[in-house]
Amino acid sequence: MGVYHRLVRIGFLLHNFLRRPQLYRVRCAIFYQGEILLVRHVGGANEWSLPGGGIHRNETPIIAAEREVWEELKLTVSNLRELEHMRVTHKYVTTDNVLVRGEATMRKLRRRKWELQAAEWFTLDDLPTPLSPTAKRVIDITKS
């Protein structure tokens, strides 16, 4: 992890400790031909997670999922549906996540480098570590 990414991460941790925010977010389980898309966010924990982000006022989780995946990866998704709601508290932040599943229309990714450290496709039998709690939950749902 570079100096820039470390400084951003420290800034996020300090902000979270002081403000203790509660967030309403969408996390997107995007599949393409049996593979799942996992990302590592700039400034976040150094773990593999699902793409996604904040849900804007008057925005449904499905619309937020489409927007976030397009903004982060320039990827169009289809067949989106809500899986479940999940509350996670981690490093002084409580996040209400809406887990959404969808299909990518293509495999090619163009990630925003200032937002994502990495973005890759993985088979469910060969997943990277560490995985975020939301990514683990979606993978458990998918495998059952």
Q: What is the pLDDT of residues 6-28, one digit of tens each?
A: 777 777 666 656 665 456 899 99
| Average confidence (pLDDT) over 22-45 | 89
* pLDDT value for 18: 61
* pLDDT value for 91: 64
Coil, helix or strand at residue 31? strand
Q: Does 110 score more than 80 pLDDT?
A: yes
User: ∠ at Cα 132 (18, 21), nearest 5°?
Assistant: 20
* pLDDT value for 74: 96
* pLDDT 10s digits, 69-99: 999 999 999 999 999 998 877 666 677 899 9
* pLDDT value for 11: 74
**CB half-sphere exposure, 25, CA atoms < 13 A:** 22
* pLDDT value for 16: 58
Residue-averaged pLDDT of the chain: 87
Which residues make Cβ contacts (< 8 Å) with residue 126, sequence separation at least 6?
none
pLDDT category at 57 given cuts 50, 70, 90 is confident
Q: What is the DSSP secondary structure assignment for residue 49, as one 8-state letter?
A: B
Q: Does 104 score more than 80 pLDDT?
A: yes
| Average confidence (pLDDT) over 38-62 | 91
Percent of the residues in the chain that have a pLDDT greater than 90, as a whole number: 59
